[in-house]
């Protein structure tokens, strides 16, 4: 197994991409702390990981809350004795609306979870990783962090910010043998993408099926990304096979090129 005796924190680990990442890490031997605001979803994923024979902790955590993030890092260190992998996956979808109609509260919520949350979580684990002389931080960004994304401004801005955070951390932490990378999924099958499509259809006054087709037609493969493929990339980056990769933003988009 590629990650035997390693420990990982996965934020947003209760559903979708986060669930797939947590399970993939566990299958490769890692013990996992799952963090999310959804306790019920966390319990389900923790049950799945437990059946894989891995040590798992499920901890209700709001990553935009500095005290809760510190408690999360402390719990991982207390239970596992080390922190090898941090996956910043927690994310707020945010509204689908023009900037002129966007409220300050809607903007602040998305930035607080997606970008400030990634900063807080990284900052919380860095001292332990420096002490160990090793570590891996993987930020789940988005292809929206590389493109203009009309009607989705706070989400896109937060993901652009995650790429800057990833590259800056990679430069700061490289001398400590800590690697930092971002993964940029394209349209990914699941509940979140379905909600985004429905919101866009409503805002534009178009049928849902047409909006979904726009996303599919924007990909070379004419399909959505499988969340398991994002998880496989996380495992690769966290393993020794990815040990020469840092400061990168890797696209997994089915060839999305809008």
Q: What is the number of other CB atoms lying within 10 angstroms of the CB of residue 137?
A: 29
CATH number at residue 231: 3.40.50.720
- The pLDDT value recorded for residue 257 is 80
Is the residue at 97 inside a domain? yes
Is the residue at 211 inside a domain? no
Is the residue at 258 inside a domain? no
Catalytic residues: 155
Under 8 Å between Cβ of 45 and 34? yes
Q: What is the number of other CB atoms lying within 10 angstroms of the CB of residue 201?
A: 18
What is the total count of domains within the chain? Answer: 1
Under 8 Å between Cβ of 20 and 230? yes
Consecutive sets of 10 residues in the chain, 258 residues long: mean pLDDT of each? 96 97 98 97 98 97 98 98 98 97 98 98 98 98 96 98 98 98 98 96 98 97 98 98 98 90
pTM recorded for the entire structure = 0.97
Place of tokens 């927690």: 90
Phi-psi sector, 190: left (phi>0), alpha (psi -120 to 50), beta = left
Is the residue at 195 inside a domain? no
Nearest CA to 170 out of 192, 138, 218 is that of 138
Residues 6+ apart with CB under 8 A from 42: 13, 14, 34, 35, 36, 58, 59, 60
Is the residue at 201 inside a domain? no
Is the residue at 12 inside a domain? yes
Helix, strand, coil abundance in the chain, percent, nearest 5: 55, 15, 30
* Full residue range of the structural domain in which residue 32 is found: 7-188+226-252
First and final C-alpha spacing in the chain = 38
Q: Report the SS3 class of residue 258.
A: coil
Is the residue at 99 inside a domain? yes
- The pLDDT value recorded for residue 258 is 58
Is the residue at 92 inside a domain? yes
- The pLDDT value recorded for residue 55 is 97
Nearest CA to 54 out of 15, 17, 13 is that of 13
State the Cα–Cα distance between residues 144 and 158, nearest whole angstrom. Answer: 9
């Amino acid at each position: 197994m590629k990650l035997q005796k390693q420990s990982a924190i996965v934020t947003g680990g209760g559903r979708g991409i986060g669930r797939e990442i947590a399970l993939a890490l566990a299958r490769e031997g890692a013990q996992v702390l799952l963090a999310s605001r959804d306790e019920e979803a966390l319990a389900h994923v923790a049950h799945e990981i437990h059946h894989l024979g891995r040590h798992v902790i499920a901890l209700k955590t709001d990553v935009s809350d500095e005290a809760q993030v510190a408690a999360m890092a402390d719990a991982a260190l207390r239970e596992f004795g080390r922190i090898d992998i941090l996956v910043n996956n927690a994310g707020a979808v945010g509204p689908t609306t023009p900037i002129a109609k966007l409220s300050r509260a809607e903007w602040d919520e998305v930035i607080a979870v997606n970008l400030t949350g990634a900063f807080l979580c990284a900052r919380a684990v860095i001292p332990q990783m420096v002490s160990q002389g090793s570590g891996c931080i993987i930020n789940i960004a988005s292809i929206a962090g590389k493109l203009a994304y009309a009607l989705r401004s706070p989400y896109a801005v937060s993901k652009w910010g995650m790429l800057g955070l990833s590259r800056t951390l990679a430069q700061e932490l490289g001398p400590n043998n800590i690697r930092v990378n971002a993964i940029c999924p394209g349209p990914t099958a699941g509940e979140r993408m379905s909600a985004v499509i429905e919101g866009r259809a409503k805002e534009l006054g178009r049928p849902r099926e047409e909006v979904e087709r726009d996303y599919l037609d924007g990909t070379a493969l004419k399909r959505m990304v499988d969340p398991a493929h994002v998880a496989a990339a996380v495992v690769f980056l966290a393993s020794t096979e990815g040990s020469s990769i840092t400061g990168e933003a890797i696209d997994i988009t089915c060839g999305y090129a809008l």
